[in-house]
A and B are shown apart, each in its own frame.
Chain A
Amino acid sequence: MSMEYIYGLIAGAVVGVIVFILLKRYTVRGSGIKAAYDERQELLRGRAYQYAFFSMCGWYCLQGILLLAGIHLMDELTGNFMGFLIGAGVFGITCVLTDAYFVPNQKQKPYLILLSIIALMNGFTAVSCFLDGSLLADHLLSAPGSISLILSLELAAIVICLIVHKVPDGDEE
């Protein structure tokens, strides 16, 4: 593994941690409010974890069956990441649809903007990999372009769900 790759990985992790801390600190309305999910949200998030786990299991079973049948759609790294991304996507979308994604009093706009930016960045990476021909190697979806493509699509799906499912402020139901 080259030093450039390691430096890039560390820089990415540091940026991620800083963004996470800033979001946690400045996106809850009102001072002194404990940012925690309420009991209904905890229950539904637990259910979402179940769905995510079984989706991931389903993907790995399907991947195994396809490999045994000699059908290769993507390289090994992409296939393994795909399971993780499917699980994360199912979890995120289930939480959004059940209003268990954000803690009470949390501002949604910063998260929407951040998720959109990450989706776009990964989309650009996928497009550039497609243009330089590295997205498909030997007719197989290949990392890292393939992972960026899947992550971009997944985050776009979550952003769309967040926008479509948004409960209007102040309206009684």
Chain B
Amino acid sequence: MKNLKLKSARVAKDLSQQELAEIVGVSRQTIIAIEKGDYNPTVNLCIAICRALDRTLDDLFWDGER
């Protein structure tokens, strides 16, 4: 399932996938895979992404509809 919350948060912060990848220390393909829902990141990476985007884990990775 696509992570549209992450994508919209990244765009709202005016960051490209490459820029976000460099901030959190992963490859751009990893950010692409997370946004496409092809890869489930570890909690450490989730926290790093949340810090980079000034969001909480709930904001970006909690699916309340389930």
Footprint of B on A, CB under 8 Å?
A: 34, 38-41, 99, 102-105, 167, 169-170, 172-173
Which residues of the partner chain B approach A170 to less than 8 Å between Cβ atoms? 16, 18
Q: Of B21, B22, B29, B44, which is in contact with the most chain A CB atoms at under 10 Å from its CB?
A: B29
Tell me which residues across on chain A come within 8 A of B21, comparing CB atoms: 104
Task: Report yes or no: B30 in contact with A41, Cβ–Cβ below 8 A.
Answer: yes
Chain B residues with CB below 8 A from A103, complex form = 27
Number of interface residues of B (CB under 8 A): 19
Contact A41 B27 (CB under 8 A): yes
B32 at the interface (CB under 8 A from A): yes
Q: Collect the chain B residues with CB atoms within 8 Å of residue A40's CB.
A: 26-27, 29-30, 33, 39, 41
Give the interface of B toward A (CB within 8 A).
16-18, 21-22, 25-30, 32-33, 36, 39, 41-42, 44-45
Contact (A105, B29) CB under 8 Å given A39-B41, A40-B39, A172-B16:
no
In the assembly, what is the distance between CA of A169 and CA of B32, in Å?
13
Q: Roughly how many angstroms separate A104 CA and B24 CA in the complex, as a whole number?
A: 11
Alpha-carbon separation in the docked complex, A44 to B18 (Å): 20
21 A-B contact pairs sorted by A residue (CB < 8 Å): A38-B25, A38-B26, A38-B27, A38-B30, A39-B26, A39-B42, A39-B45, A40-B30, A40-B33, A40-B39, A102-B27, A103-B27, A104-B22, A104-B26, A104-B30, A169-B18, A170-B16, A172-B16, A172-B17, A173-B17, A173-B36
With A39-B42, A39-B45, A173-B36 already in contact, the answer to whether A104 and B25 are too (CB < 8 A) is yes
Chain B residues with CB under 8 Å of A169's CB are 18
Contacts of B18 in A (CB 8 A): 169-170
